[in-house]
Amino acid sequence: MKLEEEVVEILKKKKLTLATAESCTGGLLSNRITNIPGASEVYIGGVVAYSNDVKVKVLGVSPLNLEKYGAVSEEVAREMATGICKLTGAVIGIGITGIAGPSGGTALKPVGLVYIGIFDTITGRIGVFKNNFTGSREEIKFQSAEAGLRVILNHIDKNLNQ
């Protein structure tokens, strides 16, 4: 079974809803989820917040955090995850921000650096996971979406296993 099938199945079983806020993945995570028949029962929607303007105006990311920590940071991933829940009313929100490359990386923030934030409105728990992926732009995007699916499954298992 594909990871996205597992995610949709567990969301249905537990009567949970999900929304996504994606930057570096460009909507790949939401695409994978919506490829599963019946996903509309649990997937509310998503925002591809590629620009900082959209992160601020739509998701409520703090301009101060963007300035201080940058778009690719733990703080912004956290705010993207909580912001998408506020925007959509989803129980679970996931935020992904990173550098897919091949350019844009620095010594402190290399290509492949991706932060995945997750938040749920039931427990109020927020988790942020730092990843360092390698490969082409497409490979980094795929690995990021794959990791996002695993983060959702792990969060449900650890925090929402009612």
In tens, the pLDDT along 64-95 reads: 999 999 999 999 999 999 999 999 999 999 99
Torsion over CA of 80, 132, 16 and 33, rounded to 10 degrees? 100
Q: How confident is the model at residue 62 (pLDDT cuts 50, 70, 90)?
A: very high
Torsion over CA of 114, 139, 102 and 30, rounded to 10 degrees? -60
Question: CA 65 to CA 59: how far, in whole Å?
Answer: 13
Q: How confident is the model at residue 162 (pLDDT cuts 50, 70, 90)?
A: low
pLDDT attached to residue 161: 80
Q: How wide is the angle at C-alpha 73 spanned by C-alphas 70 and 76, nearest 5°?
A: 85
Domain residue ranges of the chain, discontinuous segments joined by +: 3-159
For domain 3-159, give the CATH superfamily. CinA-like (3.90.950.20)
- Helix/strand/coil percentages in the chain, nearest 5: 45, 20, 35
In tens, the pLDDT along 21-48 reads: 999 999 999 999 999 999 999 999 999 9
Looking only at the bridges linking them, the beta strands covering 43-48 and 92-98 are unpaired
